[in-house]
Structure 1
Amino acid sequence: MPKIMDTIPGVAPVLHADTKQEGAEDLPSEFNGRGSRASRIAAGKAARQRVPRAELAVCKRVDRDPIALLEASNVGRLPNLIPIRYGRMLTSPFAFYRGAAALMAHDLSGWPRTDVIVHLSGDAHLANFGLFASPERRILFGPNDFDETLRGPFDWDVRRLATSFLVAARERGFGARTQRDVIRRLCSTFRQRIDDFSKMDTLDVWYYQFSADQMLALADTRAERRKEQTVISKARSQSSRTVASHTTEPVNGRLRIKDEPPLVYHFAPANPREASQFDSTIRRFIAEYRATLLMDRRALFDRYELVDVALRVVGVGSVGTRCYVALFMADGTSPLFLQVKEAQASVLEKYLPASEFANHGERVVTGQRLLQSASDIFLGWSRARVTGIDFYVRQLRDMKGAFDFSTFEPEDLSEYAVSCGHALAHAMAKAGDPALICGYLGKSEAFDDAIEVFARAYAEQNEADWSALKAAVRAGRVAAAQGR
């Protein structure tokens, strides 16, 4: 049977609910954007005929054990940290949602999805968007977590993001009307911005940056602008120097990362020989990471000397994976903090074609570079040779900022949905083909209708799974521990 790519540019074989991993093997790489806009719009419309937009509303209750799926996602994690992961997930339905990307990937794989393929962030919930700095020190807004990045159906990111807003709105006690408004604004913004990007010059799309100033301009009220400005101002003040001011202490005349067990602690070698081997392993790792940087960044990095490394527990879904913070110094006074984070296989790889990269750290770095409008100058990857574990490396908290949705009023959440819809549209336009997506989305609200129905249904599923975890902890099936 001829490949559909040979007849309709940019469109992959249709994926229905009964298509499993075997069918997914035929997915092509992202559409290359060649051909006229009209032909690519037509290809998107053709994809809409094969998988109607209304089918994206499908969210049937699935017969699966959520605890078993969560336990399976713990494979390879540090056993002593898994109870902290569960403890954080128990905090609220949204905290559970943050840690349950593997559950949603499993569920989405069994329901209809489009055959319009892009580079996904893989875990597009509202807390995985935030402020970050460009190399020119502009404050930008966009997706900022790429541990699960992989090529797949564009609607998977949209559905995960939309559901996160529904879960957050319910958690804040907002009524049905507010919930609907938030989802509709997210979807309509996403559609409009995809259409806008599809009409732009290709290089202009690549160079485009959604800045913090643009976020402020979108705010409807002074109160919203004040809240956003507070977060933006805090992000501007974040640097390795400010991190050092409250996470380090002088020891024998040199700065050392403070121990705060069980969330930050140093590896304790059993003997001098083990200490020497650990030091040698770290330095080889750093040398191989250095080789993944551009030449000018290497010249900058070479001015720094490694002075300390500690383990650090981060996030919700990431708890249990290996994460280190490394402190470097230049001139004895200039600190540089790098986060060295384990990169496991994406949770999507069980249901979509596996990553083409031999190192999952490279997969994460490539996804970040593709989807963000600008990326950290120290972004790179390496592998721990002794264990074979992949890692990616980036600066820690460098001009980064996050919005606290737990304090949002309805209008705040709605405005934040506009910003996230804008940012997600640009990420997909930069890494994929906006005209193809635009053709699928169409000009009506049919896509919005489907996503709203899906998000409402999956928010219910999420709460049921959260309740299942609470029951499993009470029954002693899994252990949970409090962790800040």
Structure 2
Amino acid sequence: MTRTALLDLLSQGADAEQGGPGAPDHGGDGEAPAASRVEAFTLLAQRRAAGEMVLLPRLLTGSERRIHVRQTIREDHQTRIATHDEEAREKFDKLAASPFSFFRGTALLFYRDMAGEDPWMPTVLSAGDVHPDNFGVVPNRDDVPVFGIDDYDEAAYAPFTWDLKRGATGFMVAAESEGAKGEARQRSTAEAFVRGYADAMRAYAADATEAFDEMRRDNAPPLIAALLDHAVRGSRAAYLTSKYLDDTGRRFAPSKKIVPVSSRLAEFQELVDRYVAENEIEVPPRADGMRVKDVAVRKGQGTASLGLARYYLLIGGADEKGTDDLLLEVKQARRSALAGLVPPSDISPDDHEDHADPSVGGDDPDGGASARHGARIAHAQRVAMVNGGVFYGSVQHDGDSYLVRERSWYRDSVDLTGLSGQGWHDYARVCGRVLANLHARSDEAGRVDHDVEPEILAAMAPLDLFVEDVVEFAAEAADRVRTDHATYRRDHAHGAFSKVDRVYR
């Protein structure tokens, strides 16, 4: 496939989708339909996975690459741009702030550069968006703080190398952008991440401890033990009153980021009751029957998900004074950035919730009546933490799919800007271990039906060559991130993301 053929395929994909099932059209009467290249990239991924020698967008340069980046970001945010969402504009500003912010918020761009890659590699449950800021302190089922992956919005079944490549790239970009580290330190940090993964996978293959392994205060390395200690300073009551509640302690206090909508109590009580029943939630005594005391719209949260609907629910605890109330987050879910791009695997298509409607773009939150994006995310969390938080689940609301989870009062993450050179190595190695645990559990609680650890170890052999390949990939990808970010900043300054691409007659 030549460069011209690649550009032809992608431009034909935009034309072919117009009028098709689920094709996004956010314009008014008589307005040209919004362009989408989802089907074109699905075809590209299938052809590459089948062994065809096809070019990928990562080989584009100059103005062709700049236009591809612009089109992908517009397409990934079609709904939010077309509805003039204020948080979408905030997100575009955030992407311009640094290469790492740009990397965090452009997963679709990253994975379109990998379409159909590594079809021969073992399939696992992939976290989907591995980078240094998506690890942190989270609650387990017993409300004990543990260290793990804290974001599964992009989770999908994919070759295990996809998480490693995005994670290694994320550590390289962050080490420079957040840690001001040079090229040698960036590379050695990425290598530490991959070797931490390999060491843990070797241990799981030998002693099969992945099913009950979790990183707690008593078994964590010093860096993570210090983070866990920092996370539990204070109390649930102090956290709620200082950040969210009014003087009565029974309602949300309005702020720039918290907009109380107390008039919707009945609506969200019905939603919570349905969520508990549909997800078979074993409500602990501390939740006091899941009574909704107040509701608020949460603004300005996250990077990739800015502009998607998000609610906070204050759930009454057992103490009548409200000192042990808990916070539930109800977050609109959308199609995974990996959907349609991963090579085919033995996992049944029915097991891919995003498979239902491949013509729908990433920013269409519901993806049609059969979409179950929230269920996909909740499934990933349950696989990742067999003893995970009790409140993870999903629910449909107003035609959209939502993830439901507890916002723990001790949720915390590593301050990347404060890491020493050795600290970057230590942290990367720990994150590699945590990722290996998720992948190893793919055949325990996930949908992989065979022992995956020996396959992964065989696929990584010889290990030194495998590590070098992943680090080289990450170095090239990090260079693309820097170049793409520079052109994005120029486009953003010109107002390029105030409109969507449309197909005109």
Give secondary structure in 1 for the equivalent of 2:147: strand
- Aligned-residue offset at 1:370: 0.6
**2:116 touches 2:341 (CA, 8 Å); kept in 1?**
no
| Structure-2 change in CA distance of 1:24 and 1:153 (3 Å) | farther
Which residue of structure 1 aligns with residue 44 of structure 2? 20
Of the candidates 295, 307, 330, which is equivalent to residue 293 of structure 2?
307
- Aligned-residue offset at 1:424: 0.7
**1:240 touches 1:396 (CA, 8 Å); kept in 2?**
no
Is 2:169 aligned against 1:182?
no
Given residue 255 of structure 1, which amino acid in structure 2 is its aligned partner? R
**2:140 touches 2:385 (CA, 8 Å); kept in 1?**
no
Is 2:400 aligned against 1:413?
no
Of the candidates 247, 252, 271, which is equivalent to residue 285 of structure 1?
271
> Counterparts in 2 of 1:31-46, with a 5 A limit?
none
Which residue of structure 1 aligns with residue 489 of structure 2? 470
Of the candidates 344, 348, 372, which is equivalent to residue 338 of structure 2?
348
Q: CA RMSD in A?
A: 3.0
Deviations 1:379-436 (A, max 9, x none): 111110xx31111111113432200112211111010011011111111011141111
| Structure-2 change in CA distance of 1:257 and 1:472 (3 Å) | same
**2:49 touches 2:118 (CA, 8 Å); kept in 1?**
no
Given residue 304 of structure 2, which amino acid in structure 1 is its aligned partner? G
**1:114 touches 1:154 (CA, 8 Å); kept in 2?**
no
Which residue of structure 2 aligns with residue 67 of structure 1? 70
Of the candidates 427, 439, 444, which is equivalent to residue 458 of structure 2?
439
Deviations 1:140-183 (A, max 9, x none): 22211001111111111100000011101222232232122212
- Aligned-residue offset at 1:280: 4.1
Is 2:177 aligned against 1:207?
no
**1:143 touches 1:372 (CA, 8 Å); kept in 2?**
no
Instruction: Tell me the number of residue pairs that the alignment of Structure 1 and Structure 2 aligns.
Output: 414
Is 2:247 aligned against 1:236?
no
| Structure-2 change in CA distance of 1:120 and 1:295 (3 Å) | closer
| Structure-2 change in CA distance of 1:448 and 1:99 (3 Å) | same
| Structure-2 change in CA distance of 1:441 and 1:18 (3 Å) | farther
| Residue identity (%) | 21
Q: Which runs of 5+ in 1 are unaligned?
A: 1-16, 27-49, 52-57, 220-224, 269-274
Which residue of structure 2 aligns with residue 197 of structure 1? 204
TM-score normalised by length of structure 1: 0.78
Aligned equivalents of 2:278 and 2:235: distance in 1?
23
Deviations 1:18-57 (A, max 9, x none): 973546999xxxxxxxxxxxxxxxxxxxxxxx99xxxxxx
Aligned equivalents of 1:318 and 1:238: distance in 2?
29
Of the candidates 253, 258, 265, which is equivalent to residue 264 of structure 1?
258
TM-score normalised by length of structure 2: 0.75
| Structure-2 change in CA distance of 1:81 and 1:360 (3 Å) | same
| Structure-2 change in CA distance of 1:446 and 1:142 (3 Å) | same
Of the candidates 371, 381, 387, which is equivalent to residue 374 of structure 1?
387
**1:267 touches 1:311 (CA, 8 Å); kept in 2?**
yes
Which residue of structure 2 aligns with residue 338 of structure 1? 328
> Counterparts in 2 of 1:319-334, with a 5 A limit?
319-330=306-317, 331-333=320-322, 334=324
- Aligned-residue offset at 1:118: 0.7
Q: Higher relative contact order by CA 8 Å / sep ≥ 6: 1 or 2?
A: 1
Aligned equivalents of 2:155 and 2:48: distance in 1?
16
| Structure-2 change in CA distance of 1:68 and 1:238 (3 Å) | farther
Aligned equivalents of 1:415 and 1:295: distance in 2?
37
Give secondary structure in 2 for the equivalent of 1:88: helix
Aligned equivalents of 1:388 and 1:150: distance in 2?
22
Given residue 264 of structure 1, which amino acid in structure 2 is its aligned partner? I
Give secondary structure in 2 for the equivalent of 1:119: strand
**1:61 touches 1:461 (CA, 8 Å); kept in 2?**
no
- Aligned-residue offset at 1:299: 6.4
Deviates more, 1:98-107 or 1:288-297: 288-297
- Aligned-residue offset at 1:255: 2.1
Aligned equivalents of 2:438 and 2:394: distance in 1?
22
Aligned equivalents of 2:391 and 2:199: distance in 1?
34
Given residue 234 of structure 1, which amino acid in structure 2 is its aligned partner? H
Given residue 285 of structure 1, which amino acid in structure 2 is its aligned partner? L
Given residue 341 of structure 2, which amino acid in structure 1 is its aligned partner? Y
Is 2:114 aligned against 1:108?
yes
Deviations 1:104-149 (A, max 9, x none): 1111116555431111111111110112222234432221100111
| Structure-2 change in CA distance of 1:255 and 1:318 (3 Å) | same
Given residue 394 of structure 2, which amino acid in structure 1 is its aligned partner? W
Given residue 211 of structure 1, which amino acid in structure 2 is its aligned partner? R
Give secondary structure in 1 for the equivalent of 2:74: helix
Which residue of structure 1 aligns with residue 438 of structure 2? 427
| Structure-2 change in CA distance of 1:328 and 1:138 (3 Å) | closer
